[in-house]
Amino acid sequence: MESLRIAASHRPPLLLPSPHQLRRRHIAAVPLSLPHTSLSLSSHHHHHHRLAPTPLRRRIPPLLASQTPNPEADSPAPAGAKLAPLLVSLAVGLAVRFLAPRPPEVSPQAWQLLSIFLSTIAGLVLGPLPVGAWAFLGLTAAVATHTLPFAAAFSAFTNEVIWLIVISFFFARGFVKTGLGDRIATYFVKWLGGSTLGLSYGLTISEAFISPAMPSTTARAGGVFLPIIKSLSLSAGSKPNHPSSRKLGSYLVMSQFQAAGNSSALFLTAAAQNLLCLKLAEELGIIVANPWIAWFKAASLPAIASLLATPYLLYKIFPPETKDTPDAPALAAEKLERMGPVTKNEWVMIGTMLLAVSLWVFGDAIGVSSVVAAMLGLSILLLLDVLDWDDCLNEKSAWDTLAWFAVLVGMAGQLTNLGIVSWMSSCVAKLLESFSLSWPAAFCVLEASYFLIHYLFASQTGHVGALYSAFLAMHVAAGVPRVLSALALAFNTNLFGALTHYSSGQAAVYFGAGYLELPDVFRMGFVTALINILIWGVVGTFWWKLLGLY
């Protein structure tokens, strides 16, 4: 969820020492051995076990790197804002404010806020500063120019949905810290991992299984699934940044990466941006009754169809060299044996998340809001020492998200209040009417535009904060049914998370593992996106009609 950019195409070269350097240091090439029974590169439990010596045939050849300091690597990174992105971002806002003609139906205050908002969005795309810092500068500009009063500028910091997103980061940390997510995924590897395709299905299904109680796609990727995939790949001789990566690792990483968007779309609480979408829809007067159930019913059939199709289709168009993994179930069984029985903290985590999900599902009927349910769950984890307060304080991404989400949501809300969103939607509606488009055609055009614009964004949540409200208003102005508009845009937000290596937090995690080449990410991202659109378009059309959404 956290906006992550990575310089993918400029990986540092491996510096190899000269023979003279090796003689001077008397370096002995000691092989790095991978434990035969290792299924996860890092254990999340506090149990430690002595590992037997690794058989010679499983040892990985050593990589010898020079110890000579790299002047470029040791030099400090430049401080402050990046000049070119800074100037472009400021120029966008200044051009709107002073050069673009203000429509007579838009007030000067609204036009000035729009210029600040667009400058903020440009900075989120170009990255002159970290996301949170740039958002704070945008908020400061709104207050310093008297565009917004202080109370209005900071009003979104008390938004319930934003705090629910923050607490979801802490839940995800609990899954990783206790090792519960690792245990659940390992069980699925044991049950389905006899072949490479079965192994991919096991990982995909396990993510869908834990996603409603672990509402961070980035945490699921980095804390649970990538360590398991890397360990399985290494044990099969498939190494990152190496020709052997195509044996197993590339396929498993690509399959998990591309399927994750459907897992996130399946449940309301499977991704933080889902909650944000419905909150923004509510601000536009679109209320989804019983949101957890309504979301699951609408997403269930197309999401499950895509989840089942993705591993198989990638197996055909991005095939692994290794087709069978007969050792994987045995390795998983050995790992589960080393883990031992379910620990007390894991049982507490299970009980807490069952309580939280139950309240998310049925809380409206008994008067318990989603954020209160999350607060109760976090309180239980703190009281029973599953998490401590330092865990929460060290979850920097949660606090960073609180800062920049609140800024974007606050600005978007004020733009709605000042009439900018309604003005934009009416302009788009008139344009669509001039082409004589029916609402289904307008729906397809707007959804496709919302999807493709994500090539400019490095965050799903940033995309939501910037464009969701405007596109939702355009849908409504074009005559698209209101609830269908809100849900379809929200589902769309999950599906474009695998377009590129920078399109989401989990994208950065999976690409950073070293098993995927950049051209493959763009090519498979686009192809899989077309497949997902086809499945969601065909299955969703009939399913949503049956549910009465249109």
**By CB neighbour count within 10 A (0-12 exposed, 13-18 middle, 19+ buried), where does 434 fall?**
exposed
Count the Cβ atoms, other than its own, within 10 Å of residue 74: 7
Q: How far apart are CA 241 and CA 248, in angstroms?
A: 13
Q: What is the C-alpha separation between 483 and 410, in angstroms, rounded?
A: 23
Question: What CA–CA distances, in Å, run from 79 to 82, 87, 90, 128, 232?
Answer: 8, 16, 19, 11, 40
What's the one-letter identity of residue 92?
V
- Rounded to whole angstroms, the Cα distance separating 160 from 379 reads 17
The pLDDT profile of the chain, 550 residues, written as one tens digit per residue, is 334 333 343 334 433 344 444 333 333 333 333 333 333 333 344 443 333 333 333 333 333 333 333 433 344 555 688 899 999 999 999 999 999 999 888 899 999 999 998 898 888 778 899 888 998 999 999 999 999 999 888 888 888 878 888 898 898 889 889 999 999 999 999 999 889 999 999 999 999 999 998 888 888 998 899 999 998 899 889 999 999 999 999 999 999 999 999 999 999 999 988 988 998 899 889 999 889 999 999 999 999 999 999 999 999 999 999 999 888 899 899 999 999 999 999 999 999 999 998 998 888 788 888 889 999 999 999 999 999 999 999 988 889 888 887 888 788 788 888 888 778 777 877 887 788 888 999 999 999 999 998 987 877 887 888 789 889 989 998 899 999 999 999 999 999 999 998 888 899 899 999 999 999 999 999 999 999 999 999 999 999 999 999 9
Residues 455, 457, 460: CA angle, nearest 5 degrees: 110
As a whole number of angstroms, the distance between CA 441 and CA 239 comes to 47
Give the pLDDT confidence score for residue 241 in this predicted structure. Answer: 92
Non-local (6+) Cβ contacts of 535 within 8 A are: 302, 305, 306, 309
The span from the CA of 287 to the CA of 279, in Å, is 9
Q: Is 271 exposed, middle or buried (0-12, 13-18, 19+ CB in 10 A)?
A: buried
Quote the pLDDT of residue 87: 95
From residue 447, give the alpha-carbon distance in Å to each of 27, 143, 429.
59, 34, 15
DSSP conformation letters of 510-543:
HHHTS---HHHHHHHHHHHHHHHHHHHHHHHHHH
Instruction: Name the token pair of 442.
Output: 């307008």
Domain positions in the chain: 83-88+106-158, 179-340+419-547
Helix intervals (H) in 61-158: 71-74, 83-94, 108-126, 131-144, 150-153
Between CA 69 and CA 49 the distance in angstroms is 36
Q: What residues contact residue 98 under an 8 Å CB cut-off, 6+ apart?
A: none
What pLDDT is attached to residue 402?
87
3-state class (DSSP) for residue 142: helix
> Considering Cα of 167, then 484, then 493, then 528, what sign does the dihedral take?
positive
- Quick one: which H or E segment has residue 292? helix 291-317
In this predicted structure, what is the pLDDT of residue 466?
79
Token pair 């077309």: residue? 530
Q: Which residues lie below 8 Å from residue 369, measured CB to CB, with a gap of 6+? A: 160, 363
**Which pLDDT score is estimated for 245?**
94
**Dist CA 148 CA 161 (whole Å):** 22
Cα–Cα distance between 516 and 507 in angstroms, integer?
A: 11
CA distance 264 to 271: 5
CA atoms within 13 Å, Cβ hemisphere of 19: 0
Q: Measured between alpha carbons, how far is 240 from 227 in angstroms, rounded to an integer?
A: 13
Contacts 24+ apart (CB under 8 A), 357-366: 357/212, 357/213, 357/269, 360/268, 360/269, 360/292, 361/292, 361/293, 364/290, 364/291
d(CA 66, CA 469): 53
- Give how far Cα 259 sits from Cα of 171, 303, 521, Å: 22, 10, 14
Q: Which of 449, 532, 445, 523 is nearest to 491 (CA)?
A: 532
For the stretch 498-524, what's the b/e string if a residue is b when 16 or more beta carbons lie within 10 angstroms of its beta carbon?
Answer: bbbbbbbbbbbbbbbbbbbeeebbeeb
Element spanning 184, H or E: helix 180-192
